[in-house]
């Protein structure tokens, strides 16, 4: 069972909901932090890191002894990553998407695959939570391969909680696709609503059942609620706008450890998700 936590807009409380939900469950949970540009969940869960590994992509390396400078590799490359000169071939590794086109067309076997580092993956544990996150290397742009690598560790025997990145483009898709449920976190403000609508379109495109958490409830207006009602998106939890909660978050602490009643509220949230999934299966 994979629950992906997403939002459209950044800073609405994805990580807060994901980490507090994970810690509240009284069973084994896997936590995958897929916000690889700005991973934050480890700051709250504080897992003991047991293993680190590199995420690599393959880029071409040309053997100039074998190369006949025929330009086939340059012609097939849609990303402008190769430039064939008179007696040299330049490879722009940062532009390469590792599609393998150049390897496939080279009739002289002059192209070898070289590894390029995109980022790192960390595995850790914290009580009942097994934790994995990805971290994009500074200056790199290939985000989806790192997210896919993080997700390759999915343990289908347990509950998996994915902390997704903001937005609606390829990184978010990589963090949502194949999830059983998407929990959308929003705030009741015009920006929150605008980006929620985009997130809902994204989830609908992928055909994944979804529900809503309204964070900072009471801060803005009721437009998010009317929208959810109209779209028949169930509101599964509301977290009030409260400076105390903001302060707890700012120190890297968990709401469920600091305020009474919240552990139960997050357990309820989980039960509601399970109930929705069950109803869906019965239909």
Partner 1 sequence: MKELVILSGKGGTGKTSITAAFASLADNMVCCDADVDAADLHLILKPDFKKVHDFKAGHRAIIDPEKCTQCGQCIDLCRFDAVKDIFEIDSIECEGCGVCVDLCLEKAIDFSENICGQWYISSTRFGPMVHARLGIAQENSGKLVSHVRQKAKALAEKKKLNFILTDGPPGIGCPVIASIGQATAILIIAEPTVSGLHDMERVAQLSRHFNIPAMVCINKYDLNVDQTTNIEKFAESANIAVVGKIAFDPIFTQSMIQAKTIFEYDNNSQVSKNVRQVWENILSRNKFNTSFIGEI
Q: List Cβ neighbours of 72 (8 Å cut-off, separation of 6 or more).
A: 102, 105, 106, 107
CB 68, min distance to partner 1, A: 19
177 binds partner 1 (CB under 8 A): yes
Measured between alpha carbons, how far is 23 from 254 in angstroms, rounded to an integer? 9
Binders of partner 1 in range 207-266 (CB under 8 A): 219-221, 241, 243, 246-247, 249-252
Indicate whether 108 belongs to the interface with partner 1 (CB under 8 A). no
**What are the strands of the beta sheet with 129-136, ordered from one edge?**
48-62, 111-126, 129-136, 29-33, 159-163, 2-6, 181-186, 210-217, 235-240
Q: The tokens 């995420």 sit on which residue?
A: 55
Q: Among residues 3, 5, 6, 9, which is the contact residue for partner 1, using CB under 8 A? A: 9
Query: Which residues 6+ apart lie within 8 Å of 230 measured at CB?
Result: none
Q: Does 125 bind partner 1 (CB under 8 A)?
A: no
Measure the CA–CA gap between 266 and 37, rounded to whole angstroms: 27
Pick the binder of partner 1 from 50, 90, 104, 125 (CB under 8 A): 104
CA quadruple 35, 243, 47, 183: dihedral sign: negative
User: Smallest distance, Å, CB 7 to partner 1?
Assistant: 8
Nearer to partner 1, 52 or 88 (CB): 52
Picking from 36, 46, 10, the residue whose alpha carbon sits closest to that of residue 162 is 36
Binding to partner 1, residues 55-74 (CB under 8 A): none
Residue 13 CB, nearest approach to partner 1 (Å)? 8
Site residues, partner 1 (CB under 8 A): 8-12, 15, 37-38, 40, 43-44, 76, 78-79, 97-101, 104-105, 136, 138-141, 143, 165-171, 173, 177, 187, 189-191, 194-195, 198, 201-202, 205-206, 219-221, 241, 243, 246-247, 249-252
């Amino acid at each position: 069972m994979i629950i992906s936590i997403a939002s459209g807009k950044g800073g609405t409380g994805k990580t807060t909901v994901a980490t507090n939900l994970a810690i509240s469950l009284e069973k084994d949970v896997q936590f995958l932090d897929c916000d690889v540009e700005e991973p934050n969940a480890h700051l709250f869960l504080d897992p003991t890191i047991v293993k680190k590994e590199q995420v690599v992509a393959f880029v071409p390396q040309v053997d100039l002894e074998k190369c006949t400078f025929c330009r086939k590799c340059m012609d097939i490359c849609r990303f402008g990553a190769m430039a064939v000169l008179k007696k040299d071939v330049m490879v722009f590794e940062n532009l390469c998407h590792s599609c393998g086109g150049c390897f496939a067309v080279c009739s002289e076997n002059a192209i070898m695959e070289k590894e390029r580092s995109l980022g790192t993956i960390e595995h850790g544990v914290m009580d009942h939570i097994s934790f994995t996150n990805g971290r994009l290397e500074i200056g790199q742009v290939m985000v989806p391969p790192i997210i896919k690598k993080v997700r390759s560790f999915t343990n289908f025997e347990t509950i998996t909680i994915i902390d997704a990145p903001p937005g609606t483009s390829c990184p978010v898709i990589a963090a949502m696709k194949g999830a059983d449920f998407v929990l959308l976190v929003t705030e009741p403000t015009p920006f929150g609503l605008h980006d929620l609508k985009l997130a809902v379109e994204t989830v609908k495109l992928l055909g994944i059942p979804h529900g809503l958490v309204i964070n900072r409830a009471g801060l803005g207006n009721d437009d998010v609620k009317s929208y959810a009602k109209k779209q028949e998106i169930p509101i599964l939890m509301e977290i009030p706008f409260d400076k105390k909660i903001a302060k707890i978050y700012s120190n890297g602490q968990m709401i469920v450890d600091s305020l009474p009643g919240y552990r139960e509220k997050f357990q309820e949230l989980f039960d509601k998700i399970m109930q929705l999934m069950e109803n869906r299966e019965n239909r």
